[in-house]
Structure 1
Amino acid sequence: MQIQTIKTTAFNDQKPGTSGLRKKVKVFQQTGYLENFVQSIFDTLDVPDNATLALGGDGRYFNRQAIQIIVRMAAANGFARVLVGQAGILSTPACSHIIRKYKTFGGIVLSASHNQGGINGDFGIKYNISNGGPAPEKITDSIFDLSKKITEYKIADLPEVDVDTLGQSIFNDGKFTVEVIDAVQDYADLMQELFDFSAIKKLLSSGFKMQFDAMHAVTGPYAQEIFVNRLGASESSLMNCIPSEDFGGGHPDPNLTYAEDLVKIMFAGESSPDFGAASDGDGDRNMILGKNFFVTPSDSLAVLAANATLVPAYANGIAGVARSMPTSGAVDRVAAKLNIPCYETPTGWKFFGNLMDAGKVTLCGEESFGTSSSHVREKDGLWAVLFWLNVLAKKGMSVEQILMSHWAEFGRNVYSRHDYEAIPTDAANTVIAHIKSQFPSLPGQSFGGYKVKTCDDFSYHDSIDGSISHNQGIRILFEDGSRIVFRLSGTGTEGATIRIYLEAFDPEVKNHHLDAQVALAEMIQIALKISELKERTGRDTPTVIT
């Protein structure tokens, strides 16, 4: 095995976002672009002898080519073994599980998550550390610093590895091995350990109808193995389950806008299935639907926490819960009743990892359709779907009945998120600057029936590692507990996305049937007035409402 040292020129735009580096495919196809970033990852790490690297992605365009490059670079940079998901397919939660199960040194996930794929779409790469979670900021900051100074990278002269066939490829007299593994079986086995599969199987055989949409993305093979092969669901209950390099030309983001086909099925009146769910490009997000009923991710987290003891893995209770700052306070109310801690963190799953490693929390979630538990260190879409099915099987209620019962007990945190995507970056920055300029004058102001109590740019002090994260989102907090949050998203690759989060607490059961957009109508207008978003961006309506 010959190791080549290739001279290269640094790029200045390789700063990882909340979940790795995401750019257009054509950016990654530039000479040295992927190689520079991968070398910067390896140069940041102190790779021990006999280290193993997990590797795989969501199957999007450029996934296979990137795997071959990274395998050769791993060999050149001291790794002894690389575990690759068969066909290069490895969901993000499954990668986290593989890292933890096989005690690898870490893993590289190739995905741009819920962003569009194809030759004109997006690609992404991130490094996960040995606990299975995304690299913390101190590592990603180091990767970025090195990427700006890199002058060369190392790559081994190896033949192309067959990633479609299970088994080992041995090189360099046994000093380097590539093993193609069936990560679907590993992940399905874990799910069967956590949940009551017999109860779910009985539910699915009782006339209960479900519909799962994999959105032409990575969870298709996992859904086939779990729902059909192990739980006895019909083939017709699955849709779009063959992974595609361009996700069937669609946008693999499980929300009411982009999962339109599933939404139509679930909102077709009495003929609709009892339960619907969708997952995203890399399998870490989920959307939950009932018959003609949408469950917000914030409410989903709260319901799962309130009913955790119905699931075998959590039968003895949960240690605590955590949510991202923009996520509604619904789970806070559950935690208070259960007398367990509730943590508020910045957006980004890496912030939950420290809390889970320290045993502080069991369940965690983000309003951006991500929920999970300490079984891995990533969001986990299929885990959330199975959790809901387990709860439905045990309670014998519909999705809507479960939510109405939950709100009657805890009150309803009426919640919605408005996304304005692909805004010119300069215009987006002026909106945020304008809101911040009002910080001194907003407290005490009244807007209709709401009076501002305080406002800030959220900062987080990590109680585990002592790190401090500033500028995590603008909060406008009202005296009645309602709030508006503004954030610039770090997950897109074109322009900027402004997200507006709106929340109002309503304890009155008589109002719990109201559509969120109706209940939040006044607050929506307040947000637009404070931000001057329409005037400063020219955008009249959100791209996505959830």
Structure 2
Amino acid sequence: MKTVSTTPFQDQKPGTSGLRKKVPVFQQPNYVENFIQSVFDSLEGFEGQTLVIGGDGRFFNREVIQIAIKMASANGFGRVLVGQGGILSTPAASNVIRKNKAFGGLILSASHNPGGPNEDFGIKYNTGNGGPAPEKVTDAIYARSRVIDTYKICETPDVDLDQIGRVEVGTMDVEIIDSVADYAALMEELFDFAAIKAKIAGGFRLTFDAMHAVTGPYAKEILERRLGAAEGSVKNFVPLEDFGGHHPDPNLVHAKDLYDLMMSDDAPDFGAASDGDGDRNLIIGKGIFVTPSDSLAMLAANAHLAPAYAGGLKGIARSMPTSRAADRVAEKLGVKAYETPTGWKFFGNLLDAGLATICGEESAGTGSDHVREKDGLWAVLLWLNILAVRGESVKAIAEAHWTEYGRNFYARHDYEDVDTQAANGLVAELREKLDRLAGTSVQGMTIAAADDFSYLDPVDGSTSANQGIRILFEGDSRIVYRLSGTGTSGATLRVYIERFEPDAAKHDVPTPEALADLIAAADEIAGIRAKTGRNEPSVIT
């Protein structure tokens, strides 16, 4: 064991999903070591305990895993579990932590962000419940990172990450585990694989785009080998360090080939994709894209058709920017609906307390109490279970849902890599005039209320303020403005636009048309074009 002197970096503040920076930033001498030591220094009671380590296979993944193993040994962990090849999807890592009663885990990922020598990398610490560290932990990590002066590391040879088995590093056991086996077994417990397999054997066709990211091996094993989907149903299934030069974000921009296929005359019955670290999902039926917000609501309304949820839901939780479609399902089911800030860690308390069963975010993340992370393949398999039991198409299920509950037209406009000062100024000016907006009109609509969302956690009593600016209109429409914490350069302004339409005769209106006046109002209220210089969003989802 060696204690190395170091000097602190002042930019190691974790965001909603850990520390994310460009690879060259992480490659600075001692940068990785400082952050990992700051994590360990912020924890207590891990002597002799188990730590889980894995990542999404992006560039620099293997090098950081070797550093983390040696530092875990030097700091006193008793055992480390590492996914074979350094691979563990984020939900699979959560499952490994929970199944092995590990103290916690280091997940190396920048989620849906691009990978490569000059692209993004990230490190996130998950606690013993399998979920992202709460703010009190990440705040402590950041505070420690600003004053750290030494780190501990073992000077030992690198571990062979590709060979399943057990080795020793110092006095610590290192076990290289099958990345897929435990997760696939869990999915078989949750869903009716026999029904899905029979559906596929009867001619049901599906396609899954793994985007050369972490879910490739998981989807190949589950969808093709265990459920019998045709060879080649899983596309781009080999994880690559740069995701094949593509952006591993399962939206209509970066998964356009999948969208085009699903809108074609020869479309399969079901199309899906997942992102860099496997926690997000894209659902497309033949001729219909299902928004993440609608998917959450539809999954919640039909979850009882899967064995794991046959007894009903304890509650449904959604992030504040996510459409309120799920709230209407909760009301009909007679269960509580929870509105939280963005960030899966806020769902963790609700799940641990048994207050919620299914959770979701508009950014394509849905999951349940089976782990403490959102889970892309879980959502795909629940959809397949529902389709197998109902015997209807995705489009038929969606249209029936809208007829029963009404339709929440919804869109998210992302303005990426905006000048940080301009973005902060826009939000500051919005906050300053919130008190004066109620009762005023814009684009012919009356503003009923305006606020900056604050969340009181019903489990631990903590408060999270300034979580997004909400403009609420008469007639159940709204606009939400929020600066995202998932980028690594500049600022990303997200604008969420939503209108509820109860009249089924109006459900076929194209979304841009249904939201046109609200889109214009969003710019007029915040002065987006004037303050950012952007005439249109970078991405619309």
| Helix, strand or coil at the partner of 1:73 | helix
Q: CA deviation at 1:511?
A: 1.0
Q: CA deviation at 1:122?
A: 0.2
Alpha-carbon distance in 2 for matches of 1:380, 1:367: 14
Contact preservation (8 Å) 2:443, 2:520: no
Residue identity matched to 2:33: E
Match of 2:280 among 254, 266, 285: 285
Q: CA deviation at 1:47?
A: 3.3
Q: Which residue of 1 aligns with 2:196?
A: 200
Would you say 1:469 and 2:464 are equivalent positions?
yes
Q: Which residue of 2 aligns with 1:327?
A: 322
| Helix, strand or coil at the partner of 2:57 | coil
- Cα distance per residue 1:239-271 (max 9 Å; x no partner): 111000000000000000011121121121x21
Would you say 1:121 and 2:116 are equivalent positions?
no
| Helix, strand or coil at the partner of 2:537 | coil
Q: Which residue of 2 aligns with 1:178?
A: 174
- Greater mean deviation of Cα atoms: 71-80 or 444-453: 444-453
Residue identity matched to 2:469: I
Residue identity matched to 2:249: D
Q: CA deviation at 1:304?
A: 0.6
Q: Which residue of 2 aligns with 1:144?
A: 142
Q: Which residue of 2 aligns with 1:254?
A: 250
| Helix, strand or coil at the partner of 1:352 | helix
Q: CA deviation at 1:434?
A: 2.3
Match of 1:437 among 419, 432, 445: 432
Q: Which residue of 2 aligns with 1:266?
A: 262
Would you say 1:24 and 2:19 are equivalent positions?
no
Q: Which residue of 2 aligns with 1:47?
A: 45
Would you say 1:419 and 2:414 are equivalent positions?
yes
Normalised TM-score (structure 2) = 0.99
- Cα distance per residue 1:382-435 (max 9 Å; x no partner): 000000000001111111110100000000011110001011101111211222
Would you say 1:85 and 2:77 are equivalent positions?
no
Contact preservation (8 Å) 1:47, 1:78: no
Q: Which residue of 1 aligns with 2:528?
A: 533
- Cα distance per residue 1:305-330 (max 9 Å; x no partner): 10011000000101001000000100
User: Identity over the aligned pairs, expressed in percent?
Assistant: 62
Pairing of 1:295-306 with structure 2 (within 5 A)? 295-306=290-301
Alpha-carbon distance in 2 for matches of 1:517, 1:203: 35
| Helix, strand or coil at the partner of 2:232 | helix
Pairing of 1:487-526 with structure 2 (within 5 A)? 487-526=482-521
Contact preservation (8 Å) 2:315, 2:335: yes
Alpha-carbon distance in 2 for matches of 1:51, 1:31: 28
Q: Which residue of 2 aligns with 1:243?
A: 239
- Cα distance per residue 1:155-195 (max 9 Å; x no partner): 011111001010001244xx311100012011000000000
Q: CA deviation at 1:514?
A: 1.7
Q: CA deviation at 1:50?
A: 2.1
Contact preservation (8 Å) 2:73, 2:169: no
Q: CA deviation at 1:441?
A: 2.0
Residue ranges of structure 1 left out of the alignment (5+ in a row) = none
Would you say 1:481 and 2:476 are equivalent positions?
yes
Residue identity matched to 1:203: K
Pairing of 1:358-369 with structure 2 (within 5 A)? 358-369=353-364
Residue identity matched to 1:200: I
Alpha-carbon distance in 2 for matches of 1:413, 1:449: 20
Q: CA deviation at 1:541?
A: 1.1
| Helix, strand or coil at the partner of 2:175 | strand
Contact preservation (8 Å) 1:68, 1:160: yes
- Cα distance per residue 1:471-518 (max 9 Å; x no partner): 100000112111000000000001000000001100011111122111
Q: Which residue of 1 aligns with 2:2?
A: 4
Contact preservation (8 Å) 1:98, 1:183: no
| Helix, strand or coil at the partner of 1:304 | helix
Q: CA deviation at 1:348?
A: 0.3
- Cα distance per residue 1:108-138 (max 9 Å; x no partner): 0000000000001100000000000000000
| Helix, strand or coil at the partner of 1:316 | coil
Contact preservation (8 Å) 2:12, 2:145: yes
Residue identity matched to 1:27: V
Alpha-carbon distance in 1 for matches of 2:58, 2:231: 24
Q: Which residue of 1 aligns with 2:207?
A: 211
Contact preservation (8 Å) 1:93, 1:284: yes
Alpha-carbon distance in 1 for matches of 2:532, 2:116: 29
Q: Which residue of 2 aligns with 1:112?
A: 110
Alpha-carbon distance in 2 for matches of 1:301, 1:156: 45
Alpha-carbon distance in 2 for matches of 1:68, 1:515: 50
Contact preservation (8 Å) 1:325, 1:345: yes
Contact preservation (8 Å) 2:109, 2:123: yes
Q: CA deviation at 1:228?
A: 0.8
Q: Which residue of 2 aligns with 1:102?
A: 100
- Cα distance per residue 1:285-306 (max 9 Å; x no partner): 0010011211011100100110
Residue identity matched to 1:426: Q
Runs of 4+ in structure 1 deviating by more than 6 angstroms, as ranges, are: none
Would you say 1:226 and 2:217 are equivalent positions?
no
Change (3 A) 1:35 1:171: closer
| Helix, strand or coil at the partner of 1:313 | helix
Contact preservation (8 Å) 2:70, 2:169: no
| Helix, strand or coil at the partner of 2:489 | coil
| Helix, strand or coil at the partner of 1:535 | helix
Q: CA deviation at 1:440?
A: 2.5
Q: CA deviation at 1:203?
A: 1.1
Q: Which residue of 2 aligns with 1:167?
A: 165
Residue identity matched to 1:257: V
Residue ranges of structure 2 left out of the alignment (5+ in a row) = none
- Greater mean deviation of Cα atoms: 286-295 or 42-51: 42-51
Q: CA deviation at 1:446?
A: 1.4
| Helix, strand or coil at the partner of 2:44 | coil
Alpha-carbon distance in 2 for matches of 1:48, 1:266: 49
Q: Which residue of 1 aligns with 2:184?
A: 188
Alpha-carbon distance in 2 for matches of 1:257, 1:267: 14
Alpha-carbon distance in 1 for matches of 2:71, 2:83: 17
Contact preservation (8 Å) 1:47, 1:79: no
Residue identity matched to 2:196: I
- Equivalent residue pairs, number: 541
Alpha-carbon distance in 1 for matches of 2:63, 2:231: 32
| Helix, strand or coil at the partner of 1:50 | coil
Normalised TM-score (structure 1) = 0.98
RMSD: 0.8
Contact preservation (8 Å) 2:69, 2:80: yes
- Greater mean deviation of Cα atoms: 361-370 or 227-236: 227-236
